[in-house]
Chains A and B, each alone.
Chain A
Amino acid sequence: DQQVKQNSPSLSVQEGRISILNCDYTNSMFDYFLWYKKYPAEGPTFLISISSIKDKNEDGRFTVFLNKSAKHLSLHIVPSQPGDSAVYFCAARSGGTSYGKLTFGQGTILTVHP
């Protein structure tokens, strides 16, 4: 039972254009959503998060949008840079008594071409 899904295994964009990475979830009890970025041979690093009571959070070139009714979130990167090439994971935090457990999606490989 995969509660967090990233249906696009890969995405390729041109430098300077917008990258849009998508994520769907099934559990209505998730209270926070996070995006992590992972380079080869390194651990995932935190990028940006959004509370389930918000619909948008922005941090520099990165914006996350949340559509609760559709159980869908997206990460926008504008403008995209070659250094953004990495695997991006969507993660969802379980609220209540789950001690902040994070459930991850499968990841999307982003390639930004110069």
Chain B
Amino acid sequence: EAGVAQSPRYKIIEKRQSVAFWCNPISGHATLYWYQQILGQGPKLLIQFQNNGVVDDSQLPKDRFSAERLKGVDSTLKIQPAKLEDSAVYLCASSLQGWVSGANVLTFGAGSRLTVL
């Protein structure tokens, strides 16, 4: 099966500019996640979608970050305006269902590395 696709792989912008990242999850996966991984730290959940509805965005800086998942498939994460501390790898992941019994195995994409100058 095809994996989780993300683009772009790398992006360099200046602070106060905007950027958007795109994710195409594994076909049939109802749950989609955006994680932020800052260098030297573990991935931190930004937002979680169940189909096209948001189930957790408690750690999303809503004054500058936004995300949508149209038609319950692809998703876009936007940052506007960017700050220096937004430099990180943005990981998209998907899973069949978020809350089924058993371990919730997420499949991750390769990530989009953002550098804010």
- Tell me the A residues contacting B by CB distance below 8 Å: 4, 6, 32, 34, 36, 41-46, 49, 51, 89, 93, 97-107
Contacts and interface: CB of A to CB of B under 8 A. Distances in A.
B98 A100 contact: yes
6 contacts: A99-B31, A100-B95, A100-B97, A101-B45, A104-B35, A107-B42
Nearest to B10: A41
B115 to A, nearest CB: 14
Contacts of B91: 43-44
A89 B42 contact: yes
Interface stretch (B11-19, B60-68, B71-79, B106-114): B106-114
A45 B108 contact: yes
A46 B43 CA distance: 14
A46 B106 contact: yes
Nearest to A34: B103
B109 A49 contact: no
In the complex, which of the residues B50, B100, B103, B105 has the most CB atoms of chain A within 10 Å of its own CB atom? B103
Nearest to B108: A43
B80 interface: no
